[in-house]
Amino acid sequence: MSIGKNIKLFRINAGLRQKKLAEELGIKVQYLSTLENEKKEPSLSLLKKISVVLNVPVSMFFWENIENAEENTHIEKLKQLLFELTSIRPTHEKSK
């Protein structure tokens, strides 16, 4: 599985350095590096925190072939998908 590579991809796409993301998560930069290099896998609770900070659904970290896609095309598709996901509002929400 390529969870670590996907974390790195979304971190870079968010314009964050490892140091900044590690600070936001309350972990050491070295630990984040081991995650991104797939030497260790994050706990589910840490993965949830990462998803909040990077504004990415947790499920996106489990996509198998993100790193194998053409990077520019793939990033644009992901941006569009994320935009669509974040712009969806529940229909039962009351109008103000």
Q: Please report whether residue 92 resides in a domain.
A: no
83-87 mean pLDDT: 64
63-87 mean pLDDT: 62
The model's pTM: 0.67
Q: Smallest Cα–Cα separation from 13: which of 73, 57, 75? A: 75
CATH, residue 53: 1.10.260.40
pLDDT (0 to 100) of residue 83: 65
59-79 mean pLDDT: 65
Q: Please report whether residue 94 resides in a domain.
A: no
Query: How many domains would you assign to the chain?
Result: 1
Q: Please report whether residue 37 resides in a domain.
A: yes
Q: Which whole-number Å values give the CA distances from 83 to 14, 18, 35, 44, 96, in the listed order?
A: 13, 24, 26, 24, 23
Give the range of the structural domain holding residue 46, as residue numbers without chain letter.
3-87
Q: For residues 65 and 61, which has the higher predicted lDDT (pLDDT)?
A: 61
